Structure 1
Amino acid sequence: MLLKEIKDIFYKELGDIYPKEEVNSFFYACIEHYLKLERFILAIQPGLTLTKEEEQPLFEALSQLKLEKPLQYILGTAHFMDLELSVNENVLIPRPETEELVQWILADCQEKKQFKLDAERSRSVISTPLNDRSLQILDIGTGSGCIAIALAKHLPNAKVFALDVSEKALKVAQKNAESNKVDVTLLKHDILDPELDPGLDFDIIVSNPPYVRELEKEEIKKNVKDFEPSTALFVSDEDPLLFYKAIMDFSKRHLKENGRLYFEINQYLGKETEALFKAHNFSEIELRKDIFGNDRMLKAIKK
């Protein structure tokens, strides 16, 4: 069959489910992944014909797309910042908002390092300059490992730890750490266990915990609600800040003085999350919006 005919079939079968631009993106992502063909191939070879073996994975992907299964799970890969990550139904698909959280951490680390260096040049009396060699970082609820691996990649001398309750998620994170050639120490623990003690203290703790309330489920698209792991997404309506409370309590014991907490948060609960940390003597609390204008990230410093 001609490749352009398969493209037409993608449009016909998926056009009632997805916008045309998204169908176009799906098609080209599939031919690149399965056939190693560039996007411009039909422009230079409009008569390109595929064998039955070459057609098969494209039609299998099409069948799964019709069920609204996320393309990342179909292809088994997702991109996060400058990383390529393996993903499956045991981990959330990394999102642009989470990239913003990582970029915030990296910017803060660079800013503090530069302040220290400038102070040294002016012969001020200061402590040892901060650099990533001095940092111990913990990512709680790591899933695919996207946050921990990105931080380890950009802060190569930091000691990065990643915690998750799911053995299956940790296997994905381990694979991703190895494929991206970074050293991340994986820990299998439940952050809701009040007795959790990793035997370490950290300079930075970061988390993108479950935060979508059950009452918000109807807002969630089918491709997320039906395929991504619900335990990594949803919390009860009665206690939507459950994981933030647990991480806050953990931080009181295992975050160093002046250590920093960074969170991705529920856009509807920004003020409530901010109030929680204010009530427990965390300082310099900053609520930040994402690229879509939603309250999405929060930083707090342990006094």
Structure 2
Amino acid sequence: MNRITAYIRQSLQEIYPPEEVKALSMLICCDMLGLDALDIYMGKDIILSECKQRELENIIFRLQKNEPIQYIRGVAEFCGRNFKVASGVLIPRPETAELVELIVEENSNARRLLDIGTGSGCIAISLDKKLPDAEVEAWDISEEALAIARKNNDALEARVRFLQRDVLADDWEKIPSFDVIVSNPPYVTEMEKNEMDANVLEWEPGLALFVPDEDPLRFYNRIVRLGSELLLPGGKLYFEINQVYGQETAHILEMNQYRDVRVIKDIFGKDRIVTANR
């Protein structure tokens, strides 16, 4: 272990688990400071320039404040691509990548797809890249999120059409026009805040995370009704969900005459996706 990795680990060991500290150390050295990975593995002693030393100290300071490394880097990996992220959008999760893969697997012939609550645009852009013959539209209420999504759209040479819309309040002409609607809406209740890690609670946008305890399925209820009007016959609706409300979400779909309702577990064995046919 050289002096740089020793300094990183010593600075972070009281905050992060050992394996995470080890991973952060390599990421900081190789990806953010541009050091040679072999030199790091071999324990070669490296002298940083004054500029690089200041950069390292700033990274450590931000990590000690529980800021997610993805926000510090400004990018997060999702479905094999790097997406720009900042504190105005959620950091993409592996479970959400499972949702994308399921949609692609089941809808190779889909022509029109809609992503509601797009955030960084990771779902919509990934679908656009994986289904090149389809048209993808994406909505979000946050102008800050849409600005980031459009940057990702340009950087990744995607063709997604982004619109600012409040799915709870907006009323527009509802003409059935989508084969697939997907949404990963806010689903964390206020009472669940105590169970959340500080780097999520203190840094990721509450607008994209939280719903009232007394109405935890408000977005699902609205989008299910909206899907009844916007989905073409035989169209499909896909949700990422709070694991606590899998059966309740499925019941909403069944009560609104959706067919083939499924609750699907994620890689961690938790109810995470609900899907149905119109």
Normalising to structure 1: TM-score of the pair? 0.88
> Partner of 2:14: helix, strand, or coil?
coil
Q: Compare 190-199 and 204-213 and name the one that shifted more.
A: 190-199
Q: Equivalent residue for 1:167?
A: 143
Q: Equivalent residue for 1:100?
A: 98
Q: How many residues align?
A: 278
Percent identity (aligned): 41
> Partner of 1:40: helix, strand, or coil?
helix
Q: Equivalent residue for 2:180?
A: 204
Query: Deviations for 1:198-236, whole angstroms, at most 9, x for unmatched residues?
Result: 766210000000001111111111100110000100000
Counterpart Cα distance in 2 of 1:268 and 1:34: 38
Q: CA RMSD in A?
A: 1.5
> Superposition pairs for residues 68-79 of structure 1, below 5 Å?
68-79=66-77
Query: Deviations for 1:127-172, whole angstroms, at most 9, x for unmatched residues?
Result: xxxx35xx10000000000000100010011000110000010010
User: How much has 1:259 moved relative to structure 2?
Assistant: 0.4
Normalising to structure 2: TM-score of the pair? 0.96
Counterpart Cα distance in 2 of 1:198 and 1:65: 46
> Superposition pairs for residues 122-133 of structure 1, below 5 Å?
131-132=109-110
Letter in 2 for 1:219: E
Cα 1:254/1:53, change in 2 over 3 Å: same
Q: Compare 20-29 and 30-39 and name the one that shifted more.
A: 30-39
**Is residue 225 from structure 1 mapped to residue 184 from structure 2 by the alignment?**
no
Cα 1:43/1:271, change in 2 over 3 Å: closer
Q: Compare 199-208 and 73-82 and name the one that shifted more.
A: 199-208
**Is residue 180 from structure 1 mapped to residue 153 from structure 2 by the alignment?**
no
The answer as to whether partners of 2:176 and 2:229 remain within 8 angstroms in 1 is no
Counterpart Cα distance in 2 of 1:224 and 1:42: 30
The answer as to whether partners of 2:78 and 2:122 remain within 8 angstroms in 1 is yes
- List runs of 5+ in structure 1 lacking aligned partners: 111-130
The answer as to whether partners of 1:189 and 1:196 remain within 8 angstroms in 2 is no
The answer as to whether partners of 2:181 and 2:238 remain within 8 angstroms in 1 is yes
> Partner of 1:259: helix, strand, or coil?
strand
User: How much has 1:42 moved relative to structure 2?
Assistant: 2.1
The answer as to whether partners of 1:194 and 1:246 remain within 8 angstroms in 2 is no
The answer as to whether partners of 2:176 and 2:232 remain within 8 angstroms in 1 is no
Q: Equivalent residue for 1:57?
A: 55
Q: Equivalent residue for 1:139?
A: 115
> Superposition pairs for residues 185-264 of structure 1, below 5 Å?
185-193=161-169, 195-197=171-173, 201-264=177-240
User: How much has 1:11 moved relative to structure 2?
Assistant: 1.2
User: How much has 1:44 moved relative to structure 2?
Assistant: 4.8
The answer as to whether partners of 1:190 and 1:196 remain within 8 angstroms in 2 is no
Counterpart Cα distance in 1 of 2:11 and 2:46: 21
- List runs of 5+ in structure 2 lacking aligned partners: none
Query: Deviations for 1:51-80, whole angstroms, at most 9, x for unmatched residues?
Result: 111111111010011111100001101000
Letter in 2 for 1:242: R
User: How much has 1:45 moved relative to structure 2?
Assistant: 6.7
The answer as to whether partners of 1:97 and 1:291 remain within 8 angstroms in 2 is yes
Counterpart Cα distance in 1 of 2:174 and 2:23: 43
Counterpart Cα distance in 2 of 1:256 and 1:40: 54
Query: Deviations for 1:108-136, whole angstroms, at most 9, x for unmatched residues?
Result: 124xxxxxxxxxxxxxxxxxxxx35xx10
Query: Deviations for 1:166-215, whole angstroms, at most 9, x for unmatched residues?
Result: 00100100011111111000011000025144766210000000001111
